[in-house]
Amino acid sequence: MTKNKLESIVSKVFFSKRALWISLFAVFTAVMVYFVTQLRVDASFEKNIPLKHEYMQTYIEYQDQFGGANRVLVALEDTSGNIFNASFFEALKETTNRVAGIAGVNQPQVESLFTPNTRYIEASEQGLEGGPVIPARFDGSERALKQVEENILKAGIVGRLVSNEFESAMVSAQLLSEYNPTDVEVTGENGEQMVQTDFVRVAHDLEKIRTDIEAKYPNVEVHIIGFSKMIGDVSDAAGGVIVFFLIALAITALLVYWYSRSIKLTALPILTSIIAVVWQLGLLTALGYGIDPMSILVPFLIFAIGVSHGVQMINGVQHNVAHGMKTYNAAIAACAALIVPGGIALLSDTVGFLTLQLIEIDIIRELAVTASIGVAVLILTNLLLLPLLLSYTHFSDKFVQSVRDREHAREKWWKKIAGFARKPASTIIIIVSLLLGIIGYWQSLNMKVGDLQSGAPALRQDSTYNLDNKYITDTYAIGTDVIYVLAKTKTDGCTYYDIMNNIDQFQWEMNNVKGVQSTISLPQVAKVVNGMLSEGNLKWKMLPKDEAVLVQSISRVETSTGLLNSDCSVMPVMIFLDDHKAETIERLVSAVKDFRANKAHEEVEYLLATGPVGVMAATNEAVSAAQIPMMIWVYLAVTLLCLISFRSVRGTICVILPLVVVSFLAQALMTWLQIGLTVATLPVIALGVGIGVDYGIYIFSRMVGFIRSGMSVADAYFETLKLTGNAVLFTGLTLAIGVSTWLMSALQFQADMGIMLTFMFLVNMLGAIILLPALAALLYRR
Amino acid sequence: MKAIIKYAFPLVLLFTGIQVSSSAETEPALIADKAVKSLLLDVEMLESGRLVTVGERGHILLSDDQGIEWRQVPVPTREQLTAVDFLDDKRGIAVGFSQTILMTNDGGESWQLTHHEESFEQPALFDVQFINGDKIVAVGSYGLYLESSDGGETWEAQEVEGLADYYGFFSHFYSIQKVTDDYWVMAGEKFIDGVDEDGFETSSALAAETRDGGETWQKLPTPYDGSFFGIEVDDKGYLYVYGLRGNLYISKDAGQSWQGQFLSTASGFHDMAILDENRWVLVGTGGVLVYKTLTSTDIKKRKDLKGRAAVVAVDEDTLVVVGDGGVERLSLSQQ
């Protein structure tokens, strides 16, 4: 299709009925505004994990029985350094009751000194004696406290429910993913009574407990950790992004004004970009999605992309006006000139985002949907609505003259830059880029998978949550870095010595894997009970081969310990790790697989895995498995789009190769900045490539015409720069500014995403301006 | 060996109904980093100063620097080992569950299985004593009593008639000590010694002696109705028996009369080390450690309350203790 034909179609279909089109846009925008007011923040645990992964199948099947990874720990610290005083115990009792009362908490599994499942046992001449750690007649007196202190020691809960130094005590609770809000027993298929647990609400309930308890008991400080609390904090902090949005908006507006020297030309692209964001959020709500703390950044991205394409458009209009057209015709010409490259650029953004659908983690898929909708919307708002609006503007002769002067003034810069397409500069550029690419690739091999920091990596290291996490892991023996491997066997499996012995062997081998702190399993507890039953004689602390005796030992262990299910066909082995670094997790997982393949009893299946680290293991595996296919798909998609639009292999190479170098450099940056490949950072490179290709498309689509008309590459590049160079530079800047405000975020992953995207946008722009012409010079030699 | 396996296999099959692919008796112990922190039940010091400790999963560890560094040695079984004894710097024996008996001729570097028998009636050996180079006695659960007269090559089970309870059954024999070649003493679980006028069974802690090198055993009268876990003899021939709930009794007349020692702890005692004429140490459940001197009695527990199973003094001031938390090295002056 020739340019003129396209111009006439654009003119006939849209510009001749511009009032109608603009009012249609206005009506649709009004509808979308309504939907935006209905937008809700939507955070769920399941969305963050790869549900189809083998480990997560185990997780889903058994989470209600053994508690998934969704635990809440509330530690009460007595600031005097000792918990044995009446007021502390009152505070602990109140906290226990209030935590148990939170909707969505699995009540029977709540544990603290005050819950009935916290018991002690000891050996005496009469056999075994035991009882609740806090007796029913506990009155807070000196004597009663002394008794409780002894019972705590006997119960073996130091380090778990009471801190190692007795300065703090714990309330531990499991959250259900759905619960029955009424007290009526739900039977059979009556599932519709169940309500999804709202983790953000749980987090707020917990925060309320913290405020109340700390106000009522001045000697008590409360520390809270757990996934739901983390999600709550993340979503609260995510609200802070509105500030960054305003900052980005202000800076962008200033820059666009500096670029265009016209308030009208500044306001219009920003207006249409905001309309795009409104449409995006509105459509999202209309389609039934909420916005997640992770994808809350996507509207920024859309805004930034919108402004950058808008700048291309006002650049085109200005240029045409400067060359004597009326604004109406200038807008038609600019629209027709940009709708193809702009459309392709936005289409490749969309495709880049859609490749993220391949990753079987819902949160990334939602990010992909959110982003794809946004970019698709931009095709309408910024390639169509914007020129329609621009066609109404009017420029004074003075302004037109100043545009002309500025264009002229820039030419000496473009002359210099066009030199990149001439030898020897082009040769040097190619060699340096090649070296950078190699260094980047080499460094990218050291990129780590998973979260490299302790605590909640989504939040900053000095956030309340992470300080609480540090307090709890420092003062208690248990951390949150635990993985449960489920030993699954036949009904009553725990009454068979061979099965129990195999689980015991498994537990011991895992205990000896580097990075494992300790393990807990049913056989281990059965040994303790057997020793107790034999008058506490340590020599009897073993697994009885006589199954009649074995049964006696096991019958003392209740299912509330989480060590067995009701018919003891499933027994979790809890493995506590020193940290959750990917290599620690991988080492353990491969040890489990090795045991499973070579040493497992034929009637025992060792199922990976639940617990927080089980989820991390699955996520790490899914993320690292997705990385290469995702990159292949993104590159396939952008390559295909370039081939179609340029009908040139050489051209495609010129556009794609700079992107590849930058991708490697981005991964190297992750290595250097200690940013791990996670659910949050995985999509960044795909986004970076998808958006980064825009620059190349804008430059090359112009350049190829000049080359085909017989110009040398350097001359063609000079002409291209005159037309679009300014806009490309500007696009890079606006995009980078839009995302660099994320660096101020209270959320670590937003800051990580921000730094990565800023890097990719700026460096991709440099790649397009410097490396692309050098490559073209090499490939289009005469 | 063959005969034992032949006997053991059908038994296991009978009780589990499944094929045994890997069970404790056929697999050598796993050499593991954390063996030094595993459950260890006895420790012995050789004349050379080498320490040997044994425990769960067939763990045997050696130390040649008074218990600072330990290294695990290969052992052909994963059975729980409960006791170890050495004749001299080279020849030693370790016993454990499934009547496991292991012998060494190189100071504990390597071990050979010489006896192993799965038995639900008498599952475990709890103590072992070299009488001389040929004669060795091992005792265990429900009156288990094995004797070897060829230095541990072959073993013969005996029923110690003199120690049967009121009904003709046996309680656990926990500890055996040689005083002279012919005079040995034993301590063990409480046994039913009669029925009172109301028809209730009465029981008594087990302490016993033989004066004829194990031909016949006689019960000694004891003042306690709970269980004893160990017996010790000092240079003067005084007997010390100790057991459940802080009970320690001393006899100066070879067990005819006993003086109860009041120690303010409810922990059971598992092992004793007599340091010299005036000082001794007891260790036991809850990680208790009692240090008695002429003028003082000091009772402390491990902070984590992990049980202590055995103690040996490596010099005037230093104890090596083993138990639920693995090996520990303690200084008495800093206790």
Cβ-defined contact of B39 to A498 (cutoff 8 Å):
no
One domain for residues A255 and A403: yes
Give this prediction's pTM.
0.80
Calculate the average pLDDT of chain A: 85
Q: Which residue has the higher pLDDT, A163 or B83?
A: B83
In a domain, A606, yes or no: yes
8 Å CB contact of A511 and B34: yes
Residues with Cβ within 8 Å of A737's Cβ and at least 6 positions away in sequence, in order, are A248, A251, A252, A255, A304
Assign A229 a pLDDT band (cuts: 50, 70, 90).
confident
Residue A691 has pLDDT above 50, yes or no: yes
| Range ranked top by mean pLDDT from A26-35, A356-365, A396-405, A452-461 | A26-35
Q: Sort out which chain A residues have CB atoms less than 8 A from B305's CB and list them.
A: 153-154, 156
Q: Looking at the complex, does the CB of residue A535 fall below 8 Å from at least one CB of chain B? A: yes
pLDDT at residue number B251: 93
Number of domains, chain A? 3
For residue A550 the two structure tokens come to 């074995």
| Partner-chain residue, chosen from B30, B80, B285, that has the shortest CB–CB distance to A542 | B80
**Residue A457 within any structural domain of the chain:** no
Interchain contact, B57 vs A508, CB within 8 Å: yes
Nearest chain A CA: its distance from B25 CA (Å): 12
List chain B domain ranges: 38-331
Mutate: best of A529, A537, A546, A551, partner B, most B CBs <10 A: A537
Do both A226 and A260 map to the same domain?
Answer: no
d(CA B78, nearest CA chain A) in Å: 10
A293 and A258 both lie in a single domain: yes
User: Residue A159 — pLDDT band, cuts 50, 70, 90?
Assistant: confident
Q: Within 10 Å of residue B3's Cβ, how many Cβ atoms?
A: 8
Interchain CB distance below 8 Å, B23 and A512: no
Q: Are A216 and A91 in contact (CB under 8 A)?
A: yes
Residues A104 and A230 in one domain: yes
- Does A299 have pLDDT greater than 60? yes
- A169 within some domain: yes
Nearest to A497 by CA among A443, A561, A546: A546
Contacts of B68 (CB under 8 A, 6+ apart): B329
pLDDT of residue B18: 36
Give the tens place of pLDDT for each residue, A366-393: 888 888 889 889 989 988 899 999 888 8
Work out how many CB contacts closer than 8 A connect A with B: 97
A175 neighbors A74 (Cβ within 8 angstroms): no
Q: How confident is the model at residue B2 (pLDDT cuts 50, 70, 90)?
A: very low
What residues contact residue B146 under an 8 Å CB cut-off, 6+ apart? B99, B101, B115, B125, B137, B138, B139, B140, B155, B156, B157, B158
Task: Report the gap between the CA of B119 and the closest CA in chain A (Å).
Answer: 9
Secondary element (H or E) of residue A209? helix A199-216
Instruction: Decide which of A617, A640, A662 is a domain's last residue.
Output: A617
- Domain for residue A274, yes or no? yes
Q: Above 70 in pLDDT, residue B48? A: yes
List of chain B residues whose C-beta atoms are within 8 Å of the C-beta of residue A603: 18
What count of other Cβ atoms lies within 10 Å of the Cβ of residue A514? 11
The reported pLDDT for the residue numbered B320 is 96
Cβ A538–B20 below 8 Å, yes or no?
no
A106-147 pLDDT tens trace: 888 888 998 887 877 665 555 566 788 888 888 888 888 888
Across B256-325, the runs of DSSP E, i.e. the strands, are 259-261, 269-276, 279-284, 288-292, 297-301, 308-313, 318-323
Residues of A in contact with B245 (CB under 8 A): 124-125
Residues A393 and A434 in one domain: yes
For A512-527, how does the pLDDT look when each residue is reduced to its tens digit (9 = 90+)?
Answer: 999 898 888 899 888 8
pLDDT of residue B70: 96
Confirm whether A642 is domain-assigned.
Answer: no
Q: A606-623 burial, b if ≥16 CB within 10 A, otherwise e?
A: bbbbbbbbbbbbbbbbbb
CB pair distance less than 8 Å for B285 and A123: yes
Q: Are B292 and B311 spatial neighbours (Cβ–Cβ below 8 Å)?
A: no
Assess whether A231 and A246 both reside in one domain. Answer: no
Enumerate the residues of chain B whose CB falls inside 8 A of the CB of residue A576. none
Q: What percent of chain A has pLDDT over 70?
A: 95
Look-up: residue for tokens 């902070």?
B303
Chain A: residue whose CA lies nearest to B95: A539
Of A201, A235, A269, the residue at which a domain comes to its end is A235
Q: How far is B248 from chain A (nearest CA, A)?
A: 15
Assigned domain for A458 exists: no
Q: How high is the pLDDT of residue A661?
A: 93
Relative to beta strand B136-140, strand B125-130 is: antiparallel
Residue A69: pLDDT band (50, 70, 90) is low
Out of A153, A498, A538, closest to residue B23 by CB: A498
| In a shared domain, residues A525 and A670 | no
Could you tell me the CATH number of the domain that includes residue A323?
Answer: 1.20.1640.10
Distance CA A538, CA A534 (A): 9
A598 and A712: one domain? no
**Residue closest to A266 by CA, chosen among A276, A251, A277, A281:** A251
Query: Is residue A580 within 8 Å of residue A613, measured between CB atoms?
Result: yes
Query: CA–CA separation, A448 vs A627, rounded Å?
Result: 12
Rounded to two decimals, the ipTM of the complex is 0.90
Quick one: closest CA in A to B42, which residue? A539
Helices first, then strands: H and E counts in chain B: 1, 27
Contact B304 A158 (CB under 8 A): yes
Do A424 and A497 belong to one domain?
no
Q: Is residue A163 domain-shared with residue A268, that is, in the same domain? A: no
Cis omega (within 30 of 0) for bond into B221: no
> Who has greater pLDDT, B221 or A322?
B221
> Which residue type sits at A678?
T
- Report pLDDT for A479: 66
Residue A59: the pLDDT is 80
Task: Look up the CATH superfamily of B38-331.
Answer: YVTN repeat-like/Quinoprotein amine dehydrogenase (2.130.10.10)
Asked whether residue A400 falls in the same domain as residue A341, the answer is: yes
Encode pLDDT of B109-163 as tens digits: 999 999 988 888 888 999 999 999 899 999 999 999 999 999 999 999 998 888 9
Task: Look at B270 and A537 and tell me if their CB atoms are within 8 Å.
Answer: yes
Which domain, by its residues, includes A726? 3-37+239-445+648-779
Find chain B residues with C-beta within 8 A of A505's C-beta.
Answer: 22, 30, 78
Question: Mean pLDDT throughout A292-300?
Answer: 78
State the pLDDT at residue B6.
38
What digits encode the pLDDT tens for the residues A409-422? 888 888 888 888 88
Higher pLDDT pick, B42 / A556: B42
Q: Identify all chain B residues contacting A125, using CB atoms and an 8 Å cutoff.
A: 225-226, 244-245
User: Which pLDDT tens digit goes with each residue over A639-658?
Assistant: 988 888 888 899 899 999 99
**Which of B12, B268, B307 is opposite residue A535, by nearest beta carbon?**
B268
List chain B residues with CB under 8 Å of A503: none
Alpha-carbon gap, residue A65 to A69, rounded angstroms: 12
Q: Note whether B123 contacts A546, CB cutoff 8 Å.
A: yes
Between A450 and B158, whose confidence is greater?
Answer: B158
A111 found inside a domain: yes
**Helix or strand holding residue B77 (H, E):** none
Q: Which residues from chain B sit within 8 angstroms of residue A540, using beta carbons?
A: 124
CA distances, A523 to each of A174, A498, A546, B12, B89 (Å): 24, 11, 14, 19, 37
Residue A398 covered by a domain: yes
Interchain contact, A538 vs B16, CB within 8 Å: no
Q: Chain B contacts of A154, Cβ < 8 Å?
A: 305
Question: In this predicted model, what pLDDT tens digit does every residue of A175-212 receive, in sequence order?
Answer: 877 777 765 554 545 555 677 778 888 889 999 999 99
Cβ contact A497–B229 (<8 Å): no
In terms of Cα–Cα distance, which of A773, A637, A757 is closest to A699?
Answer: A773
Between β-strands A168-174 and B279-284, what pairing exists: parallel, antiparallel or unpaired? unpaired
Residue A108 and residue A254 in one domain: no
The two tokens of residue A393 are: 């503007």
Residue given tokens 């002894």 in the structure block: A150
Answer whether residue A534 shows pLDDT above 80: yes
Res B178: pLDDT? 94
